[in-house]
Structure 1
Amino acid sequence: MDIVIRRAEPGEYEPLGEITARAYLQDGLLDFGESDEYLSELKDVAGRAAAAEVLVAVENGRLLGGVTFVPSGGPMADIARPSEAEIRMLAVAHDGRGRGAGEALVRACVDRARATEGCARIVLSTQRTMHGAHRIYERLGFVRTPERDWNPIPHLDDITLLTYELTL
């Protein structure tokens, strides 16, 4: 396996946005009312890269997927508290799955969190149906934190996001 994890380059922002949006759409993860707004956020890799660190998984020059790593106190954090980093928008193209790209992206985020001074934990939110991602998180030592579960769209009760954390 020749998967390389590195910082996204500007020429990859648009293709990564498409991979991310397509992954969420094909997995049925955008079937709620404000999906158009979140779809725009998923596609806005340049905006994410300006506020956080966007990493990509590349195999033999082919973009497989990406993730957004939000360092402790970063403006893109949804649930991170002081001394916590956050993982956001992990996505791997459907035809690139099963090769270890998702796990390699999560491992790279964990490594970055460990290298961040004062960072004690890394946290993330996930949808109930993201079973493949849950398996990756649990295999890497993340534990569920149900007391932190939250709803990004309060008027829709069925959109509660599950949370996980890894103590570093």
Structure 2
Amino acid sequence: MTGLLVRRAESADFPSVARLTVAAYEADGQLKGEHGYGAVLADVSTRAASGEVLVAVDETTGAVLGSVTFVLPGTPFAELSGPGEAEFRMLAVDPAAQGRGVGAALVQACVDRAAELGCAALMICVRAGMAASAHRLYERLGFVRAPEKDWSPVAGVDLLGLRLELPPR
């Protein structure tokens, strides 16, 4: 998408990131019976303190269109990554901006960041019932299933592990 800038979130972006993340997860049906996950999604300052919150911004309007949290193993929001890996969490695109390449730009920024850090792979977990468009995005970008990383944080929420091998540096 032209006119899109991906950068590290600033504290002034946090309210927009919180709003759009919760809205995106709600629109996708991922917060039904969510056991407090909406509050975790909205707590952008905690995510930013333990990882890198990236935002996709419309260069013309300055509006925050999407966000993602990039983390390394051993940090509070890391769920799947091990040594030499990175992962991203809470990828969200404002429902009004979906279909414009925002999600792909944010994932690519995570791929680039992981490669910059010398990581061998990038991990993500997705909800089993997540929208087909999200699964297609990850498949198109080269992510493959990593069933050994599947897990369930609470009953009824099944998360599937995906992995992208990165070229050696």
Fold shared by both chains (TM-score > 0.5): yes
Tell me if structure 2 keeps the 8 A contact 1:73–1:83: no
* C-alpha displacement of 1:147: 2.3
Using the alignment, how far apart are the partners of 1:146 and 1:107 within structure 2? 23
Q: TM-score, structure 2 length as denominator?
A: 0.92
Superposition pairs for residues 115-154 of structure 1, below 5 Å? 115-117=116-118, 119-128=119-128, 129-153=130-154
Give 1:100 shift: 0.4
- Stretches of 4+ aligned residues off by more than 4 angstroms: none
Question: Which residue is equivalent to 1:77?
Answer: 78
Corresponding letter in the other structure for 1:21: V
The residue matched to 1:99 in structure 2 has which SS? coil
CA shift for structure 1 position 33: 5.1
Determine the structure 1 residue equivalent to 2:164: 166
In the alignment, is the contact (CA less than 8 A) between 2:87 and 2:124 conserved in 1? Answer: yes
Task: Spell out the pairing of 1:1-168 with structure 2 (5 A cutoff).
Answer: 1-32=2-33, 34=35, 37-59=36-58, 60=60, 61-117=62-118, 119-128=119-128, 129-153=130-154, 156=155, 158-168=156-166
With normalisation by structure 1, the TM-score equals 0.92
- Contact map agreement 2:17 2:66 (CA 8 A) in 1: yes
What secondary structure is seen at the aligned counterpart in 1 of 2:153?
coil
Structure 2: distance between partners of 1:151 and 1:145: 14
Q: CA RMSD in A?
A: 1.2
Shift of 1:82: 1.3
1:46 is paired with a residue of what secondary structure? helix
- How far is 1:75 from its partner? 2.8
2 CA distance for matches of 1:147 and 1:63? 35
Q: Is the 8 A contact 2:72 2:81 kept in 1?
A: no
CA apart distance, 1:104 = 0.2
Query: Any stretches of 5+ residues in structure 1 without a counterpart?
Result: none
Distance 1:74 1:137, change over 3 A: same
Q: Percent identity?
A: 48
The alpha-carbon distance between structure 1 residues 81 and 88, as it changes in their structure 2 partners (threshold 3 A), is: same
Secondary structure of 1:151's partner? strand
- In the alignment, the residues of structure 2 paired with residue 43 and residue 13 of structure 1 have an alpha-carbon distance, to the nearest angstrom, of 9
